[in-house]
Amino acid sequence: MTKYISTRGGNEKISSAAAIIKGLASNKGLYVPCEIPRLPLTIEEMVGKSYKEVAFIILKSFFDDFSDDELRYCVESAYDDKFEREEIVPIVQAGAVHFIELFHGKTAAFKDIALSILPYLMTTAMKKEGIDKKVCILTATSGDTGKAALEGFADVEGTEIIVFYPHNAVSKIQELQMTTQEGRNTHVFAIKGNFDDAQRGVKSIFTDSEFAKELSQKNILLSSANSINIGRLVPQVAYYVYAYLKLLEEKAVNLGEPMNVVVPTGNFGNILAAYYAKMMGIPIRTFICASNKNKVLSDFFETGIYDANRDFYVTNSPSMDILISSNLERLLFHLNMNVYKDHEKSSEEVAALMADLEKNGKYEVSGDIKKEMGMFVGGFVGPELTLKTIQSMYNKHGYLMDTHTAVAYDVYSEYKKHVCDDFETVIASTASPYKFPASVANAIGIEKMDDDFEYLQEINRVTGVKIPSSFADLKQRPVLHKGVIEKTEMPDAVRESLKK
């Protein structure tokens, strides 16, 4: 049975069910499998399988303590008619690349793929582990995770969900999606700060032993819906496996021929899932990590130095406005494993780097790790060029992108100018263009309007691109969550929410 350990060491080796429930290790590390599993079938045997079938295979490989019936229940419950496309994640060719559209769920962003299934994995895991406690899902969001988590956990028996997002730093659509969320167990707070402040506050609560004891006395257990939770990360692996299978079906690649993957990246979970797909046996040549003006990851892959001591920018791709990319820690662990072939030594290296980050706001990896990072390429693009890319892609190819996908496409275009690379490329299209209607409208020449909802209608009129059905009555929904708090007030907000 696959066991899970902390990236920062310790003697703990736990089941996937226990790792999903805990979310974050007690030493602040992230749970990783002792070994990343290989695909149980050959790629040839997987060609032609549906998305649900691929998802089951991936989940069973990582979560082998779950029974087949338990995992089929989770998959069937998650990937149903809440997705507007039968194939769940359509693959669309435009501009000499393939886009894997990850935004056809209820919140119109890629987080739906994993957060539709996490509640089922979580509640099944609780039963398996014999835990008779209420689980409190605590999450920081830069815009999309929050709504997807709220949607997934709303009114799920035995759970409460609390979401913190940066005040005035998400789109109006994103904010309304969260603040209008119904559900007896849902709680949403804007904090006066940025996403990194929210994420730091959540991690601090998770690692506060006194706070955990206080909640335990009330029969409450904390867990996370961020991609720090292995139950959030693993379902994302499935769509990269599925993408390669679809390229084979379309004869865009030959069996064994690699593809490139481009991901607009903030917290590093989405691109890490692609790395896991490669480790499982999917031929991926280059991982292109696309950043916006907050280019901490782009700089890291160029220099090997991660330095969060820099100005923070609010951009038109807000889900990437992040300076502390949590899931990079998992990659560092795996790269160290490639070098040392030893869990303990790898954990020691990661723990030291994370200590440097916490103390000094920066760290530098070794020369060996820099060599291991060679399959990753970083690039970044500013807000103005992001809009020009949306315009150019729409005018030339009739394909309408959101701001995050545009960042990815532009970074890939720059990569192609400097590297002779003709391998088929898949770009993760992470959000509907309607999530960021003012920016998209501005990019394609629509005149300034009074609010995002006028932009929705005008974009639809001009382009014919369907508005997500979940946006239809968003403007009319009552705002149910109005709290705006200081970042220091986050623990008290959790206490108050759990009293209700």
> What pLDDT was estimated at residue 426?
98
> What pLDDT was estimated at residue 143?
80
Residue 230 banded pLDDT, cuts 50, 70, 90: very high
Is the confidence at residue 389, as pLDDT, over 90? yes
Is residue 295 within 8 A of residue 371, CB to CB? The reply is no
pLDDT digits (tens, 9 = 90+) for 166-222: 999 998 899 999 999 999 999 999 999 999 999 999 989 988 989 989 999 999 999
Q: At what angle do helices 118-128 and 68-78 cross, to 10 degrees?
A: 150
As a whole number, the mean pLDDT across the chain is 95
> What pLDDT was estimated at residue 159?
93
What is the percent of the chain where pLDDT is above 90?
A: 92
For residues 16-39, average pLDDT: 95
Q: What is the DSSP letter of 467?
A: P
If phi over 0 gives left and psi between -120 and 50 gives alpha, with beta otherwise, what is residue 496? alpha
> What pLDDT was estimated at residue 442?
96
pLDDT digits (tens, 9 = 90+) for 47-64: 999 999 999 999 999 999
For residues 421-446, average pLDDT: 96
**Short-list 170, 254, 266, CA closest to 226:** 266
> What pLDDT was estimated at residue 376?
98
Is the confidence at residue 1, as pLDDT, over 90? no
Q: Which amino acid is located at 429 in the chain? A: S
> What pLDDT was estimated at residue 142?
85
Is the confidence at residue 500, as pLDDT, over 80? no
Residue 101 banded pLDDT, cuts 50, 70, 90: very high
pLDDT digits (tens, 9 = 90+) for 274-332: 999 999 999 999 999 999 999 999 999 999 999 999 999 999 999 999 999 999 999 99
> What pLDDT was estimated at residue 499?
86
Rounded distance, CA 158 to CA 123, Å?
Answer: 8
Catalytic residue among 22, 60, 111, 147: 111
Helices (H), 305-436: 328-340, 343-360, 367-372, 383-397, 403-418
13 belongs to the catalytic site? no
Rounded distance, CA 402 to CA 152, Å?
Answer: 23
pTM: 0.93
Is the confidence at residue 7, as pLDDT, over 80? yes
For residues 143-172, average pLDDT: 92
227-257 b/e with 16+ CB inside 10 Å = b?
bbbbbbbbbbbbbbbbbbbbbbeeebbeeee
Sheet of strand 425-429: strand arrangement: 91-94, 97-101, 425-429, 259-264, 284-291, 376-380
Rounded distance, CA 243 to CA 478, Å?
Answer: 39
> What pLDDT was estimated at residue 227?
86
The answer for residues whose C-beta is within 8 angstroms of residue 86's C-beta and 6 or more apart is none
Residue 235 banded pLDDT, cuts 50, 70, 90: very high
Is the confidence at residue 96, as pLDDT, over 80? yes
